[in-house]
Structure 1
Amino acid sequence: MNPVDPRTAARRFAGLSALRWLPSGLIIPVMVLLPTARGLSLATVGGLFALHSLLVAALELPTGGLADAWGRRNVLVLSGALAVATTVVFAVARDVPTFAVAMVLLATSRALGSGPLEAWYVDTVHATDPDGDIRTGISRGEAAEALGLCVGAVGGGFLPRLFPSGDPAALLVPLSAPVLLAGVVLLGWLAAVAVLVVEPPRPVGPRGWRGLLRDTPATVRAGVGVAASSRTVRLVLLSSVAAGAVLSALEVLSPVRFAGLLGSTRDASGPFGVLVAVSFLAVAGGSAAVPTLARWLRSLPVVGLVASLLGAAALGWFAAVDGAVVLAAAYIACYLALGVLSPVKSELLHRSVGSAQRATVVSVRSLASQAAGAVGALTLPALAAGAGYGWAFGVCAGVLTLGGLALLAA
């Protein structure tokens, strides 16, 4: 096996990140609109999102440990295969049980794929130079991920408008089209992972799969031990909780709020897809700017605090005003802040862990975010329905401010 040099690894990490998240971008504009068009209530959709988040949280540590024990590429391929299955089920779902099955598949795929690619990149760089720079590569990878989401969101928003409205109870409806296209793209990503993610073999060993599965809990315990013993990791996890709550509000509440301002779910999918695309461009810009901001402010935690305060201000704006244009500007500003925060948290985390537990600790961060997202998906729609959208987004603004203070102390 020929080793991959850091520059090649950075290019592969960025390219695979963009290709992996392009399908998610295709689905995001219709993720809430499709089930509501099928007759599900917003509260039911919130419950499905909560189911997804809780399952991801439950599976994060075992799947992170599996990636550390079995290998990054193997787990990525399994994640991609489940993601393809998700698109098929979600596209044809017409009732709560079928949508729930799609969410279970999606949660398992997300848990498997939440850390291995990033862990592979960092390990590849450190295999050549233990002190090698990962900030630029991670920032570019985060930016490429956002660009993939952006391109997908444009297509996912406008693709349903190419088809005439039909019976919402039909097996396939216009809002199903982006979901099916996402499955096709994921097949291409699977092939790319099989070729480009090169790593030393991690043999199952003489004890076979049973031994590997027995080793996974030990790997998880070691990773959790690292997280529990590191003050920096604990503070990064607190910030991830805040970001998870904010994302829950943006993902569950925003599509319905904008649909109410712009018209029907089908008519709103195009404009909302453009808004999502622009917001992901903001994420890309924020992620790419982190190395420059760190040089200007001379402190990565300070960059995290400034971004958190920007996001909190945008959420407060979102809570206090009305009108599609003003809300769109606040929405974009929120994602700009989140784009800065993600690579900041990643670098702080990777500085504190070694290769043996890296994917597991990344999964711990994702678990914290998903758990907060589950709580948000259950509580924020009820808060918005009872007290108004302003209260829901105002609470998120306060939570994100606390997350920024946690990063400052990291």
Structure 2
Amino acid sequence: MSARRYLAAFGLAGLGKGLLLPVLSLLLLSRGLDAGTLALATGAFALTVVLLELPSGMLSDRWGRRRVYLVAHTIGAAGDLVLAFTGQAFGGMMLLGAAAAFESGSLSSLFFQRWIDARGKETLPRAASWMNLLETGGLAVGALAGGAVGAAAPAFLLPYAPLLLARFALRLGALAAAAGIPADPPLPHAARRKPDGWRRMASNRPLILLLAGGVVLGAALGNLETYWQPHLEQLAGGYTPLLGVMSCISMFGAAAGMAIIGRFAARLRLEWVYAVFQLAVAGWLAVLGHITNLWGYVGGFGALYLCLGGSDLARTSMLQAAIPPAQRATVMSVDSLLCRLGAMLGSGAAAVALTYVGVPALWTGLGLVLAAGIGVQLLCGVTRTAGLSVKK
């Protein structure tokens, strides 16, 4: 199996996503939205993803994972053009939401399945490391480029259109890379109706625990992503260029954590790597808001994402080793959906909690909840099943 086309598609897609990260809200405001309708537009994106996440994963398993990936970027390209040349912000965001849902778990599930078939489960950390490094690196580079080009946006006749056209071109590159990958045949009709894979999955306690843990992780990280920027400005006494630096620190920190664990994965039990690094994430989250020194806060933020990268690599490898092949894309979509639902639930809980406490106390509470969740997983046996270990 040659991984080059897969990795090229992952890298180009990540680069395209990164281009809009620093300026998406400004782009939508330039298309006629105000503060109130901006929240509705981003909500339309999130709702579209949630509604299509699971159906798109099931379609990937049944119709073909490469096909669904090609459909995803075709829809996304249409969304880029709508946002670039029209004022239909809601329509554009819904198209981008549909593209995100269809992309989730499609080509990546095919990549992992063919990697396992060719090289075995024991090499999964290497596959996860390469995929995550290309995606995260693309996001980081794209965010830097998007911030630089976005600063000149008012000079263009159509603000931010060059960024959207650049992302459109990157989507075409990802489509070309994926089109050269051998197609996976649709799932045979008999296999679609066979319940054995689902029964095995439902009886796999560590897999269920990992999926459930994604809800707690999504709630914790969702609130961190929401409030780290205003908290940084509070420590800095106003706007600071460190906002852009911190975005890069999170991406490169996670990539570094993945690279470190990927380098030593053959000597480690990934179940314990997952548990230890998740507990480290919980610890940093609990104390981060109480760090009053600006540079200490920046360092703690980077350390948190370094630990998150290591735990994410271990978790991804464990999940891929446990998922039944016929349901791989569906389960990956379920995992993504649960993380998104966790973020939504966490946002609702934070809205209530922040009427009584500040952000530091909120983060401390979420850190304790995350640590408790890891404790429950340990007690229930997330580390005691050899089927999830990729270490021989």
TM-score (norm 1): 0.79
Q: Which amino acid aligns with 1:312?
A: A
Structure 1 contact 47–378 (Cα < 8 Å) conserved = no
Q: Determine the structure 2 residue equivalent to 1:230.
A: 204
1:198 aligns with 2:182: yes
Deviation per CA, 1:289-339, whole angstroms, max 9, x where unpaired?
Answer: 22345455x321211122212222222233223465443333323322221
Q: Give the whole-Å Cα distance in 2 for the aligned partners of 1:256 and 1:58.
A: 31
Structure 1 contact 232–348 (Cα < 8 Å) conserved = no
Q: Determine the structure 2 residue equivalent to 1:291.
A: 262
Give the Å deviation of 1:188: 1.6
Q: Determine the structure 2 residue equivalent to 1:314.
A: 284
1:110 aligns with 2:100: yes
Q: Give the whole-Å Cα distance in 2 for the aligned partners of 1:153 and 1:355.
A: 34
| 1:275 corresponds to which of 229, 241, 246 | 246
SS in 2 for 1:29: coil
Q: Determine the structure 2 residue equivalent to 1:358.
A: 328
| 2:5 corresponds to which of 1, 12, 20 | 12
Q: Give the whole-Å Cα distance in 1 for the aligned partners of 2:60 and 2:315.
A: 21
> Cα–Cα, structure 1 residues 52 and 128, in superposed 2: closer, same or farther, change >3 Å?
same
Deviation per CA, 1:142-164, whole angstroms, max 9, x where unpaired?
Answer: 11211111111111222222345
Q: Determine the structure 1 residue equivalent to 2:365.
A: 395
Q: Give the whole-Å Cα distance in 2 for the aligned partners of 1:263 and 1:87.
A: 36
> Cα–Cα, structure 1 residues 362 and 129, in superposed 2: closer, same or farther, change >3 Å?
same
1:141 aligns with 2:131: yes
SS in 1 for 2:76: helix
RMSD: 3.4
Note the residue ranges of structure 2 that are not aligned, 5 or more in a row: 383-392
| 2:159 corresponds to which of 157, 169, 173 | 173
Give the Å deviation of 1:200: 3.8
| 1:186 corresponds to which of 145, 153, 171 | 171
Deviation per CA, 1:193-249, whole angstroms, max 9, x where unpaired?
Answer: 112x2134338x9xxxxxx8x997x58x77655543221111111221122123322
Q: Give the whole-Å Cα distance in 1 for the aligned partners of 2:42 and 2:368.
A: 22
Note the residue ranges of structure 1 that are not aligned, 5 or more in a row: 206-211
SS in 2 for 1:59: helix
| 1:101 corresponds to which of 91, 104, 117 | 91
Q: Which one is further off, 64-73 or 79-88?
A: 79-88
Q: Determine the structure 2 residue equivalent to 1:209.
A: none
Give the Å deviation of 1:365: 0.9
Structure 2 contact 7–131 (Cα < 8 Å) conserved = yes
Structure 1 contact 383–391 (Cα < 8 Å) conserved = no
> Cα–Cα, structure 1 residues 12 and 341, in superposed 2: closer, same or farther, change >3 Å?
farther
> Cα–Cα, structure 1 residues 151 and 184, in superposed 2: closer, same or farther, change >3 Å?
same
Q: How does 1:70-81 map to 2 (within 5 A)?
A: 70-81=63-74
> Cα–Cα, structure 1 residues 350 and 303, in superposed 2: closer, same or farther, change >3 Å?
same
| Residue identity (%) | 28
Structure 1 contact 50–377 (Cα < 8 Å) conserved = no
1:85 aligns with 2:109: no
Q: How does 1:368-387 map to 2 (within 5 A)?
A: 368-381=338-351, 383-384=353-354, 387=357
Q: Which one is further off, 320-329 or 119-128?
A: 320-329
Deviation per CA, 1:332-370, whole angstroms, max 9, x where unpaired?
Answer: 233222212222122211222222111111111111111
Structure 1 contact 51–374 (Cα < 8 Å) conserved = no
Q: Give the whole-Å Cα distance in 2 for the aligned partners of 1:132 and 1:29.
A: 38
How many residues align structurally?
379
> Cα–Cα, structure 1 residues 23 and 79, in superposed 2: closer, same or farther, change >3 Å?
same
